[in-house]
C-alpha cells in the first residue's frame, strides 16, 4: 500500500520467518550430555565408543522409528518386543534347517508383518485400541516363540554366509553396517511420514479421528496398515539381530517396549497423537544409550539406568506439556487481541 511516493510499512507480523525444527531441542540436549560426559571422561569421546552407541541403538532404534507412526495415530503396540523375538526365532530356525540366510531373513520380515496384521485385524475388527489388543498378543507371541525355540537359544550352525559377515562388518573398523542400515531406514520412514499421502493421513487421523473420517480417510484401514508396518519393522530388526549376534536368546526383546516408547516420547512425539518425529526418535534412543554408557563411565551401577531413563521420560513429558500450555496461552492472547 502506498501514499504518493512513500510506502506505508506493513505492521502485520511476518509469516516467512525461518521455522526452527521441532527436533532442535532434543538434539541440543544430546550434544550437551555428550559434552558433559566427554569433559569428565575424555575416553567417552573415542570414535570407537561413539560408534558403539550407534551400534547399540540400532535394533531398539528401528522399533522406535516404527512406533512413531503408532503414537502419531494415537496407538501403542505393547507386543513389539515379542514380534521382534518371534521373527528372529523364525528366521534362525529356518537358517538351522538349511535355508539360505538371506531368504530366511526375508521370511522373518514377512513373518513380522503377518504378526502385525494379526494385531491390526483384531484391533480394527473388534474396534479396540491397539494397546488393549497387544496386551493380549504380547503373551500370545511370547508363548508361541517359546514353543518354537523350546526355551533355548537358537544358534545357526553355519555363520560363514555373507549375511552374517555383512551385518557384523564395520567400515574403516569403526562404523557398523547395521547402524548404517538403521539410519537409512530412519531416513526412508521420515520421508514416508512427512512427504507421502500415507504419512499425512496418519497424522490427520491422530490429530482428529472424527474429522479425518468425515474427510473420507479410511481410518480403520490406516490403523491396520500402520500395525502391519510396525510388525514388518520388528521382523527386519529381528532378522538383522540374528545376523549381527549370530544367535537369538529365548527372552531377548521382552523388555523392549518401555525403552522404545521412552525414546519416542523423549524425541518429541506426543502421546496425544497428530504429529510424529522420526529424527526425534533416533535422537531419543541415542540419549538413552548415552545415559547408560555415561553411568558406566562414571562407575555407577548400570541398574540405575532404568531409573534415569524413567526420570528423563517424566521430564520430557512435563516439558512438552509446559510448551503446549505456553503456546495455547499465546494463541488465545493473540485471538483476544491482547
Domains of the chain: 22-32+41-326 (1.10.3470)
What pLDDT is recorded for position 11? 46
Assess whether pLDDT exceeds 50 at residue 2.
no
Helix, strand, coil % over all residues of the chain, rounded to 5: 70, 5, 25
- Helix (H) or strand (E) segment spanning residue 6: strand 6-7
The string of pLDDT tens digits covering residues 72-83 is 999 999 999 999
Instruction: Say what the alpha-carbon torsion angle 264, 266, 269, 271 is, to the nearest 10 degrees.
Output: 90
pLDDT of amino acid 12 = 47
pLDDT of 322 reads 74
47-72 helix and 80-96 helix, angle to the nearest 10 degrees: 120
Pair type for strands 175-176 and 2-3: unpaired
Structure confidence at residue 69 (pLDDT): 97
Burial string for 76-87 (b: 16+ CB within 10 Å, else e) reads: bbbbbbbbbbbb
**Integer CA distances (angstroms), 55 to 43, 165, 169, 258, 297, in order:** 18, 15, 11, 19, 18
Share of the chain above pLDDT 70, in %: 91
pLDDT > 80? residue 7: no
**13-61 pLDDT, tens digit each:** 444 455 667 778 888 889 999 999 999 989 989 988 889 998 999 999 9
User: For residue 243, what is its C-alpha cell?
Assistant: 545376523
Higher-confidence residue of 262 and 336: namely: 262
Contact 54, 110 (CB under 8 A): no
Among 58-67, 88-97, 251-260, 311-320, the range scoring the smallest mean pLDDT is 311-320
CB 211 within 8 A of CB 224: no
Residue of 241 and 6 predicted with greater confidence: 241
Task: Give the CA radius of gyration of the chain.
Answer: 22
Given this model, what pLDDT does residue 324 score?
Answer: 66
Q: How far apart are CA 338 and CA 328, in angstroms?
A: 14
Please tell me the predicted confidence (pLDDT) of residue 21: 74
Instruction: Tell how many helices (H) and how many strands (E) occur in the chain.
Output: 13, 4
pLDDT digits (tens, 9 = 90+) for 201-236: 999 999 999 999 999 999 999 999 999 999 999 999
In the predicted model, is pLDDT for residue 5 greater than 60?
no
Amino acid at each position: 500500500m502506498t501514499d504518493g511516493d512513500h510506502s506505508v510499512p506493513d505492521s502485520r507480523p511476518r509469516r516467512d520467518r525461518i521455522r526452527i525444527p521441532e527436533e532442535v531441542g532434543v538434539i541440543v540436549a544430546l550434544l550437551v550430555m555428550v559434552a558433559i560426559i566427554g569433559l569428565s571422561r575424555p575416553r567417552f569421546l573415542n570414535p570407537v565408543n561413539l560408534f558403539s552407541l550407534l551400534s547399540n541403538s540400532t535394533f531398539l532404534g528401528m522399533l522406535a522409528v516404527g512406533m512413531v507412526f503408532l503414537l502419531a495415530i494415537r496407538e501403542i503396540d505393547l507386543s513389539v518386543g515379542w514380534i521382534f523375538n518371534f521373527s528372529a526365532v523364525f528366521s534362525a530356525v529356518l537358517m538351522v534347517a538349511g535355508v539360505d540366510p538371506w531368504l530366511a531373513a526375508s521370511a522373518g520380515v514377512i513373518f513380522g508383518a503377518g504378526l502385525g496384521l494379526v494385531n491390526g485385524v483384531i484391533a480394527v475388527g473388534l474396534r479396540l485400541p491397539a494397546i488393549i489388543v497387544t496386551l493380549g498378543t504380547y503373551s500370545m507371541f511370547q508363548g508361541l516363540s517359546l514353543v518354537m525355540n523350546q526355551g533355548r537359544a537358537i544358534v545357526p550352525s553355519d555363520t560363514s554366509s555373507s549375511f552374517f559377515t555383512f551385518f557384523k562388518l564395520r567400515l574403516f573398523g569403526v562404523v557398523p553396517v547395521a547402524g548404517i542400515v538403521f539410519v537409512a531406514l530412519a531416513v526412508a520412514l521420515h520421508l514416508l511420514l512427512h512427504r507421502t499421502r500415507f504419512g499425512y493421513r496418519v497424522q490427520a487421523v491422530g490429530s482428529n479421528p472424527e474429522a479425518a473420517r468425515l474427510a473420507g480417510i479410511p481410518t480403520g484401514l490406516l490403523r491396520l496398515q500402520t500395525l502391519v508396518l510396525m510388525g514388518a519393522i520388528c521382523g527386519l530388526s529381528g532378522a538383522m539381530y540374528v545376523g549381527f549376534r549370530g544367535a537369538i536368546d529365548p527372552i531377548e526383546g521382552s523388555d523392549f517396549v518401555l525403552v522404545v516408547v521412552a525414546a519416542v516420547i523423549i524425541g518429541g512425539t506426543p502421546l496425544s497423537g497428530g504429529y510424529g518425529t522420526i529424527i526425534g526418535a533416533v535422537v531419543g534412543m541415542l540419549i538413552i544409550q548415552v545415559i547408560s554408557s555415561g553411568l558406566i563411565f562414571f562407575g555407577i551401577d548400570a541398574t540405575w539406568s532404568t531409573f534415569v531413563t524413567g526420570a528423563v521420560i517424566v521430564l520430557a513429558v512435563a516439558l512438552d506439556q509446559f510448551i503446549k500450555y505456553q503456546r495455547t496461552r499465546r494463541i488465545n492472547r493473540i485471538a483476544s487481541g491482547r
